[in-house]
């Protein structure tokens, strides 16, 4: 079944909390179409969404929370990104300099430059299992502001579920971004997206993703070296599952065919994703 969360105040929030009431309750396997402003709560018209609560809406504009009936701590939430459709414009900041992009036909254009768009949602996640208020800025093991440019339509993101019902939220659309997101912003744009949420009766420690041609394992930490270690360990565990090899054999193979990429370095908690392409091992 497909549901819709309209662009309305009751369907948006700017922080994570296990105490937020669900905007929608769905069955596992259902799809949800969402509409969200850009990270600064700007609409496709360019106007700022109103009303806003200065404390509660200080983070990214997120649609949700979406409760998945029967989901509970210890399971895995599978988030399939079916479509991300950016609005007509976006903006990127370099300190105080703003670059405005016009978005049309898969291309982002300024007065001088043009880039191909690869739209995705920067924030996909669930609230921590403790506390009543959490900023949207840092990513966590349960997802959030991961800002990985590989999470485009056709990709499935796997997240460990921290709370009953999952209480999943999404937002922060990007029309395009480089690994690292070095200015703190990508092409920040309003967007519509369709996501399918399912529940797997298995346990994972850190996020994983399946793209059309690769497996990804994520590491998140305030220290980049530790984030890289977590991503590597996650990939080694995944390779053992997929290939039926030992830890040491996976380590040797990974040193030959797995790439470590810096996801982002600007969200307080840094990100690394390990990539295993389908065609790396024959």
- 170-204 pLDDT, tens per residue? 999 999 999 999 999 999 999 999 999 999 999 99
Q: Which fold would CATH assign to domain 2-200?
A: Jelly Rolls (2.60.120)
List the end-to-end C-alpha distance of the chain, in Å, as a whole number. 39
**What residue ranges do the domains of the chain occupy?**
2-200, 213-277
CA distance 56 to 13: 7
Token pair 């796997």 in the structure block, residue: 158
Question: Does residue 219 carry a pLDDT above 90?
Answer: yes
Counting Cα atoms < 13 Å in the Cβ hemisphere of 232 gives 17
CB-count exposure of residue 8 (10 Å: 0-12, 13-18, 19+): exposed
Q: Do the domains 2-200 and 213-277 sit in the same CATH topology, yes or no?
A: no
Question: Does residue 56 carry a pLDDT above 90?
Answer: no
pLDDT in tens, 68-88: 999 999 999 999 999 999 999
CA distance 210 to 80: 9
User: Is 78:34 a contact under the CB 8 Å cutoff?
Assistant: no
pLDDT in tens, 92-120: 999 999 999 999 999 999 989 999 999 99
Reported as a pLDDT band with limits 50, 70 and 90, residue 55 is: confident
User: Is 167:65 a contact under the CB 8 Å cutoff?
Assistant: yes
Options 2.60.120.10, 3.30.1200.10, 3.10.28.20, 3.40.50.970; which CATH number does 213-277 get? 3.10.28.20
pLDDT in tens, 3-19: 999 999 999 999 999 99
User: Is 198:28 a contact under the CB 8 Å cutoff?
Assistant: yes
- State phi, psi for 251 to the nearest 5 degrees: -60, -45
CA distance 27 to 176: 32
Q: Which residues contact residue 8 at a Cβ distance below 8 angstroms, ignoring those fewer than 6 apart? A: none
């Amino acid at each position: 079944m497909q549901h819709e969360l309209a662009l309305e105040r009751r369907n948006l929030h700017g922080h994570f909390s296990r105490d937020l009431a669900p905007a929608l309750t769905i069955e596992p396997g259902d799809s949800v179409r969402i509409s969200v402003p850009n990270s600064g709560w700007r609409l496709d018209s360019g106007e700022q969404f109103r009303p806003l609560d200065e404390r509660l809406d200080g983070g990214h504009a997120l649609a949700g929370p979406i409760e998945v009936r029967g989901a509970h701590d210890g399971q895995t939430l599978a988030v399939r990104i079916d479509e991300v459709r950016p609005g007509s414009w976006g903006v990127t900041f370099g300190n105080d300099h703003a670059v405005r992009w016009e978005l049309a036909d898969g291309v982002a254009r300024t007065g001088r430059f043009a880039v191909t768009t690869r739209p995705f949602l920067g924030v996909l996640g669930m609230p921590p299992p403790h506390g009543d208020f959490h900023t949207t800025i840092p990513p966590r093991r349960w997802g959030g502001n991961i800002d990985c440019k590989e999470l485009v339509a056709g990709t499935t993101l796997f997240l460990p579920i921290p709370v009953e019902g999952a209480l999943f939220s999404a937002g922060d659309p990007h029309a395009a971004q480089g690994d690292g997101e070095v200015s703190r912003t990508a092409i920040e744009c309003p967007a519509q997206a369709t996501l399918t949420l399912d529940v797997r009766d298995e346990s994972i420690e850190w996020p994983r993703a399946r793209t059309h041609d690769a497996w990804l394992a994520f590491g998140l930490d305030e220290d980049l070296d530790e984030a890289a270690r977590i991503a590597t360990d996650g990939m080694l565990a995944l390779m053992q599952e997929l290939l039926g090899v030992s830890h040491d054999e996976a380590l040797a193979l990974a040193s030959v065919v797995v790439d470590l990429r810096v996801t982002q370095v600007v969200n307080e908690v840094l990100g690394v994703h390990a990539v295993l392409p389908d065609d790396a091992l024959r």
